[in-house]
Structure 1
């Protein structure tokens, strides 16, 4: 899982049978987006010339034989880069995620009016694109960029129609924690000017919090009100973020602690003297007391007032006004297919049954006597499968996950030609946003590789962090999963810049889940219980198909979803409850993992069957990763083109 998850094909700001059923799905798009599905995309051109990929080099050479198309594509790429620079002007956060320090004293406008301005800019940019460029005169790679750009507007416009249906401030994905993490983890301070920006952003985030609060009020009045448990979490989080020094109460506020550490670092580096440090501390204190604290207290007051109006028995969005249409759009958004809720539900049921068969085999392998349910209980409850709930136990978890990633890093060159420059580290989630059983996640490295990627783990309750699942989750979030995926995309230099920051839930999370199984080929899971942990996370994603659709289209309650999850998985109780609540608050998102994995595995089988000895696992993986993210239909076209190029070679 990654931290920016909303929006099919969104530019980042701020993780079976081979009958081809996924391939029959269609991305719910119009205009150029539909043309993109028909595009015989040769996106492999973006890695042309890499040693060991003669077929791709041959395609590049063929493309070069059309100098007019190459010239026109160079011209449109320059236009894309100029337009993307304009677009970044709307989102200083996106710049910071990419390691760009321009505008690092500014913050995104998160008001409805601000969102409308961005949408209108996108509409006009599409008009300009169509008037200035003839798509038919571009190379295949240029056509793909053309279609992707238009798709950004199509999807933004579709999402805008459902802006009243969104849960804006929640306990799991709320701006009160996400924006705080941005300040503490993404905004880098190495020069005095960076500290100036840090202080300005304390006030900028405070403004953004109030803008989100206004949207939350509007949506709640329209009937999009999350259940009571979410308000409880919001109250707890924003109370913590407006408590401690300099506000009063025990301890130090998380931002106050971080700011003092950043200032001390500047002093130690000789960048400022103590007098300047004291002025910085005073400015931080002022911004916190005058802007930060009041914004969080307003969120707390609103949540306390709204809580009695919210559902005690939590369920999905289907009961909300326009909820069924909203959920259908969220499924299309998450999976980039036209699969219905009923179809996805049945796929989930079928996958759960299949994976349970593999789990039964491991149960027999370790010599456990009893039913699979008995084995679930054993793995869920026995102390041998957990580190102690102490600081030593937490450090042991971090150390073990780090060791797994280090070993996997040595195997990457056998399966990939392209490797990321940035490293990945394992960290505990910060106290202000840590939740027992909440999902581990990944924070992107900077594009230049100087800021490492981070695999975050919630370690407040070690009974919610089973050891058998540690290895597989490390691979999913780190290498060869999300860290590899995002770092390669962000480090690309031979596609328009906007394509290095695209996000498609099914492609992104499908890759993460695919690499969990790939890691077994790469030598992971030597312990059968770790392999059982791998199956635990795979069935977890299959259960999501059942539970997410059950909640949002069949009216399941939270407890019904928890009961189904527990019956079919050895996941810890804390994990299960946290997962189900995540699905309630983010409808549809959790369905992209398994649907995406199924498609990637289907494409690999097709390539292996078609190419036989010509199949190249490195080339296949580079084909998936080396042009940035795209919808599943476009990914299928891309792999098909790679298959044809290999055959021709």
Structure 2
């Protein structure tokens, strides 16, 4: 796709107009004004047409989001595809000559989003409804984690509960199409889906909202809501989960692929390259990414060796063995893990002014995730854009005795501040942009920023515990290992045993984490690649700016520039930073001569 360069950003109509004026004899001021006005009117007309298309796209996205779980029938998916194809054709026909930078970025971002949706549709990825992340069966349980403050909140919850049977039924319908078209997930993962559904049925998390009520709700309404929620959960939700579990176990899993990677599917290579393009916003090949991973693994292992030597150990292996055996770094309860995260989030917050000129002031909350699901990963639930509620860091605590506290500081900065919570909140609050610019989250940008943000703690004097700094580097090592293992599984045909072996030998993760990581590369191919690739781009651009601006480089202004346009494909981010460097360089030169 064409990269937006400074020349592309220049006002082409005005450049043509200048040539025209130099060639013509002098006109009266009235004639010149009429010519200029015509150019302005044309620009305004094209911008108005583009903004109308943006509004149309945002309206369609909003309509799909009105319900917590919109219609995902095949007919609805096909209709959405046709609408997007029509919109894309009209948007591409609009000339962007003379557009301001943000208007250009909006144009290019939406074109790429629509192109990606079209490629996904052509590859029939909608027939893999239990891939691409956690799975709807798991996401549905998060309904019960909402903020219930009024009877209206409970009424909305009842409506969502009644939608669950329909959502699971449509998921089953799409999976049956995948059986027919040989677009299938790995069999062993479906066995895990069955086990996860069994756990949900046994735990019955959907009743949690009626265990406690806010004081503002009367006893009469409490009794009424308790009876209604209990009835819907027992008579509709749990039976729907049982039917869905039985379908996966008896009908879906027997047809699933035995190979774990996308390479075992008929169009697997095409699917994987498409996933790479989506998740990294680059055209890198699996081989290029695999080799980058090998180089990064070797580089970071060298840094870890240095840490071990400074700690007085002859080898990294011996240092790791000591850390692994030290009870100081083994949690004694899920609460200890949560408290660890709270400590580090609180430690970072006072330092934010050193790194950012503007940043969200709403404090974070930290809470435990699933106590029983080992595949549950630590993640952020970002607060609303208006700042009325805090963001929430949900911490993985299952199998706590097998976990380590060593990487908690790094993960706290990654998920909280200055990582996801800060970046996504800033994006949500951007003014003067189409709504999709607030909503689209490119993995390479969002996760790349979060990995980049982890090391900012080191730069401002945190990571005081040498073991915690080891944990930072070891977690970065895991992001490099991902490049090797994800491509190994999905392009090189690695077995799960090969993937586990490589991961274990790297020492980059504890056993529960590495098992969940490998499941993730199978379930969500290429998603893990964006972390390291994005991080390297943020570092590259910062060092480019530092090199060209010298003593005038201000890290706070660099962060403002990379965060103030939202989640961008990496090449568009690079173009934006390059233009900022040129402007800053020109300003500095002007000041030096004034």
TM-score, with structure 1 as normaliser: 0.81
Take 1:382 and 1:228, find their aligned partners in 2: how far apart are those partners? 38
Take 1:36 and 1:645, find their aligned partners in 2: how far apart are those partners? 16
Take 1:216 and 1:381, find their aligned partners in 2: how far apart are those partners? 45
Structure 2: any 5+ residue segments left out of the alignment? Answer: 11-38, 588-594
Take 1:300 and 1:281, find their aligned partners in 2: how far apart are those partners? 26
Task: Trace 1:32-111 onto structure 2 (pairs within 5 A).
Answer: 34=2, 36=4, 75=48, 79=52, 82-92=55-65, 103=66, 107-111=69-73
Secondary structure of the residue aligned to 2:63 is coil
| Contact 1:476/1:513 (<8 A) preserved | yes
Residue 553 (structure 1) shift: 0.9
Residue 223 (structure 1) shift: 3.0
2:305 counterpart of 1:360: yes
Residue 190 (structure 1) shift: 2.9
Describe the superposition over 1:4-53 as per-residue Cα deviations: whole angstroms up to 9, x where unpaired.
xxxxxxxxxxxxxxxxxxxxxxxxx5xxxx355788669xxxxxxxxxxx
Residue 456 (structure 1) shift: 1.6
Going from structure 1 to structure 2, the CA distance change for 1:332 and 1:441 (only over 3 Å counts) comes to same
Describe the superposition over 1:509-566 as per-residue Cα deviations: whole angstroms up to 9, x where unpaired.
1111111122211222111111110011101000000001111111111111111111
Which residue does 1:237 correspond to in 2?
196
Secondary structure of the residue aligned to 1:242 is helix
Residue 397 (structure 1) shift: 1.9
Take 2:40 and 2:156, find their aligned partners in 1: how far apart are those partners? 46
Residue 129 (structure 1) shift: 3.9
Which residue does 1:216 correspond to in 2?
175
Residue 158 (structure 1) shift: 1.0
Residues matched between the structures, number: 558
Going from structure 1 to structure 2, the CA distance change for 1:77 and 1:481 (only over 3 Å counts) comes to farther
Residue 238 (structure 1) shift: 1.7
Describe the superposition over 1:233-261 as per-residue Cα deviations: whole angstroms up to 9, x where unpaired.
211222233346xxxxxxxx211122443
Residue 472 (structure 1) shift: 0.3
Which residue does 1:153 correspond to in 2?
114
Take 2:270 and 2:216, find their aligned partners in 1: how far apart are those partners? 56
Take 1:257 and 1:334, find their aligned partners in 2: how far apart are those partners? 35
Which residue does 2:341 correspond to in 1?
401
Going from structure 1 to structure 2, the CA distance change for 1:317 and 1:380 (only over 3 Å counts) comes to farther
| Contact 2:370/2:398 (<8 A) preserved | no
Which residue of 361, 366, 385 corresponds with 2:329?
Answer: 385
| Contact 1:398/1:426 (<8 A) preserved | yes
Secondary structure of the residue aligned to 1:455 is strand
Which residue does 1:517 correspond to in 2?
455
| Contact 1:437/1:461 (<8 A) preserved | no
Take 1:320 and 1:37, find their aligned partners in 2: how far apart are those partners? 39
Take 2:341 and 2:286, find their aligned partners in 1: how far apart are those partners? 36
| Contact 1:506/1:592 (<8 A) preserved | yes
Residue 292 (structure 1) shift: 1.4
Which residue of 377, 388, 413 corresponds with 2:353?
Answer: 413
Which residue does 1:136 correspond to in 2?
97
Describe the superposition over 1:181-223 as per-residue Cα deviations: whole angstroms up to 9, x where unpaired.
1x123x5433323322211111223311221121122223433
Describe the superposition over 1:286-319 as per-residue Cα deviations: whole angstroms up to 9, x where unpaired.
322343123211221012113345466x631101
Take 1:378 and 1:166, find their aligned partners in 2: how far apart are those partners? 47
| Contact 1:436/1:464 (<8 A) preserved | no
Moved more, 525-534 or 71-80: 71-80
Residue 124 (structure 1) shift: 2.7
Going from structure 1 to structure 2, the CA distance change for 1:37 and 1:594 (only over 3 Å counts) comes to farther
**Larger relative contact order (CA 8 Å, sep ≥ 6):** 1
Take 1:88 and 1:386, find their aligned partners in 2: how far apart are those partners? 45
Structure 1: any 5+ residue segments left out of the alignment? Answer: 1-28, 43-65, 93-102, 245-252
Which residue of 113, 117, 122 corresponds with 2:75?
Answer: 113
Residue 146 (structure 1) shift: 1.7
Take 1:107 and 1:396, find their aligned partners in 2: how far apart are those partners? 35
| Contact 1:73/1:142 (<8 A) preserved | no
Going from structure 1 to structure 2, the CA distance change for 1:74 and 1:333 (only over 3 Å counts) comes to closer
Which residue of 291, 301, 318 corresponds with 2:236?
Answer: 291
Take 1:353 and 1:166, find their aligned partners in 2: how far apart are those partners? 39
Residue 157 (structure 1) shift: 0.3
2:277 counterpart of 1:332: yes
Take 1:333 and 1:81, find their aligned partners in 2: how far apart are those partners? 21
Going from structure 1 to structure 2, the CA distance change for 1:198 and 1:77 (only over 3 Å counts) comes to farther
For the pair shown, the structure with the greater C-alpha radius of gyration is 2
Going from structure 1 to structure 2, the CA distance change for 1:310 and 1:149 (only over 3 Å counts) comes to closer
Residue 410 (structure 1) shift: 0.7
Take 1:317 and 1:83, find their aligned partners in 2: how far apart are those partners? 35
Which residue of 368, 375, 387 corresponds with 1:428?
Answer: 368
CA-atom RMSD in angstroms:
2.6
2:519 counterpart of 1:584: no
Describe the superposition over 1:298-342 as per-residue Cα deviations: whole angstroms up to 9, x where unpaired.
221012113345466x63110112111111111111111111111
